[in-house]
Structure 1
Amino acid sequence: MASMASKLARAAFATRASPSAAGRIAAGGRPAAAISGSPTDALSISLAEGPKGYPNPPVDENVLKSKESMWAFYEYWCKFHGISRDHREMARRFKIFSDNARRVHEFNSSNCRGSLAMNGLADATNEEINIRYGYRRKKR
């Protein structure tokens, strides 16, 4: 009986992420950042894998060359994250997306530690992100 309980306890402990695992692979083979659930994950360093098990699409110099290449990257990003929008909605969100892509590329090409990635909220407005995480403006 005691050995069965200890086996269950070891199995439960082995699948839990340790707080010191940030930036490394946590137990269970999952990236540590994918386990955390803080509201800052949307804009913080992203080590999480995308929905298909592949890393988030990288932003490189080729994406930033022209508006057409950025649009192609935006369409690829929408397919990668399973987002379907009509052309009018995509055109409205394109500026937000391209600004975020430029910010990600600038950060990744700098000498800062870590890297940023284009997650599923790359074309969301600040208002949408605040609503998603439950932030509300105080009424005066």
Structure 2
Amino acid sequence: MATAALVLLLAVAPAPAIAMDFSDKDLASEDSLWALYESWRAEHTVSRNLGEKASRFDVFKKNVRLIHEFNLGDEPYKLRLNRFGDMTADEFSRVYASSRAFHGDRRSDSFMHGSAPAASSLPSSVDWRKKGAVTGVKDQGQCGSCWAFSTVAAIEGINAIRTKKLISLSEQQLVDCTASNWGCSGGWMDTAFQYIATGCGIASEAAYPYTAQQAPTCNTCVRRLVKIDGYQDVPANNETALQVAVAAQPVSVVVDASGFQFYSEGVFAGECGTSTNHAVTAVGYGTTVDGTQYWILKNSWGLGWGEKGYIRIKRNVEDNRGLCGIAQVASYPVKTSPNTKQDVHDEL
């Protein structure tokens, strides 16, 4: 069996909440910072015991000042106080970006979108959100299932492209049923694609809703909705090949997300490595007015993070692995077969 990105994410985000703004006035004194911390805790429903609260407040203060000072600079992206506000950078990395991506043996099948045509032959920009092929941003909750969200977003995309119907599909089915993966402890997107292609298909979100925990049993072949015929891997370490694939459909990718803690807007060009640890979905690409090329990535940390749940990261960097390792391991589902009449009935 082919293997690709093994994404092992530990615990994940709490209930979604909106990022908070603050001003110089909030930083003026210890009392004003305490008031800001209390407001942040209330906004994000964070409870702390008395012993932990003081140490967490110290972390919060450092993070608030880091965000403030960073935003005074001229970087092409901005930071914002979000639900990760009283976590240290090391804690964030361990919890949200501590997994290892297992590259494994890549499939030898030919790349159906072409090997590496000239970038000049591709559209200058693509945004599958504007083409009706991307569902709303979701939140994986307290389950290490980023791999399932990446898989599902890619399948939602190709299904919308092929059928002209955008349907939210079930991450929970993959968490419960993909035997070769580890549920809330991680998994391979390619293995999930293979499970859907060789099995009964994948159910809608409504038919098999998300619970953010792995069930002891799998709801086998119950109300399956969408079918795919397989998957293909994008040639590794080739951003042009990845661009070719994303021009055709949303694509599952893995990145090093250790630097994403307080990302808010703009094109991320900050420090990150290539030891990929988090699965997301590339849903487009483009270029800013000043000529900076970027990827559009759909994340699964809810609407309160990033650009309403998305991040743009710099594209076509000197390292052929891509910024944050985005070009190392990417794959996408193949769909040529129609969904059955029974499947369509189950959608209703």
Residue 33 (structure 2) pairs with residue 79 (structure 1): no
Structure in which a larger fraction of residues adopt strand: 2
Query: In the alignment, which residue of structure 2 is the partner of 1:102?
Result: 65
Query: In the alignment, which residue of structure 2 is the partner of 1:23?
Result: none
**TM score, norm. by length of structure 1:** 0.53
Query: Structure 1's 94 and 113: CA in aligned 2 closer, same or farther, altered over 3 A?
Result: same
Counterpart pick for 1:51 among 16, 21, 38: 16
Residue 55 (structure 2) pairs with residue 92 (structure 1): yes
Which protein is bigger by CA-based radius of gyration? 2
Q: How far did 1:130 drift?
A: 3.1
Query: Structure 1's 127 and 110: CA in aligned 2 closer, same or farther, altered over 3 A?
Result: closer
Unaligned runs of 5+ in 1: 1-38, 40-49
Secondary structure of the residue aligned to 1:115 is strand
Counterpart pick for 1:115 among 57, 60, 78: 78
Query: Structure 1's 89 and 64: CA in aligned 2 closer, same or farther, altered over 3 A?
Result: same
Across the aligned residues of Structure 1 and Structure 2, the Cα RMSD in angstroms comes to 2.4
Q: Say whether the 8 Å CA contact 1:96–1:123 is kept in structure 2.
A: yes
Query: Structure 1's 116 and 86: CA in aligned 2 closer, same or farther, altered over 3 A?
Result: same
CA distance in 2, matches of 1:134, 1:108: 23
Query: Structure 1's 115 and 130: CA in aligned 2 closer, same or farther, altered over 3 A?
Result: closer
Q: How far did 1:72 drift?
A: 0.5
Per-residue CA deviation, residues 76-131 of structure 1 (Å, 9 max, x unaligned), is 11111111112321111111110110010111222322310112112113443233
Which residues in structure 2 correspond to 1:1-140 (within 5 Å)?
A: 51-52=16-17, 54=18, 56-133=19-96, 135=98
Q: How many residue pairs were aligned?
A: 86
Match for 1:102: what amino acid? R
Secondary structure of the residue aligned to 1:111 is coil
Per-residue CA deviation, residues 41-70 of structure 1 (Å, 9 max, x unaligned), is xxxxxxxxx935x4x111310111000000
Structure in which a larger fraction of residues adopt helix: 1
CA distance in 2, matches of 1:71, 1:102: 13
Query: Structure 1's 108 and 130: CA in aligned 2 closer, same or farther, altered over 3 A?
Result: closer
Match for 1:89: what amino acid? E
Percent identity, please: 34
Q: Say whether the 8 Å CA contact 1:81–1:120 is kept in structure 2.
A: yes
Match for 1:66: what amino acid? S
Query: Structure 1's 126 and 104: CA in aligned 2 closer, same or farther, altered over 3 A?
Result: closer
CA distance in 2, matches of 1:119, 1:88: 23
- Does 1 or 2 have the higher relative contact order (CA < 8 Å, sep 6+)? 2
Match for 1:85: what amino acid? R
CA distance in 2, matches of 1:75, 1:64: 14
Secondary structure of the residue aligned to 1:93 is helix
Q: How far did 1:134 drift?
A: 5.7
Match for 1:68: what amino acid? D
Unaligned runs of 5+ in 2: 1-8, 10-14, 100-348
CA distance in 2, matches of 1:64, 1:133: 28
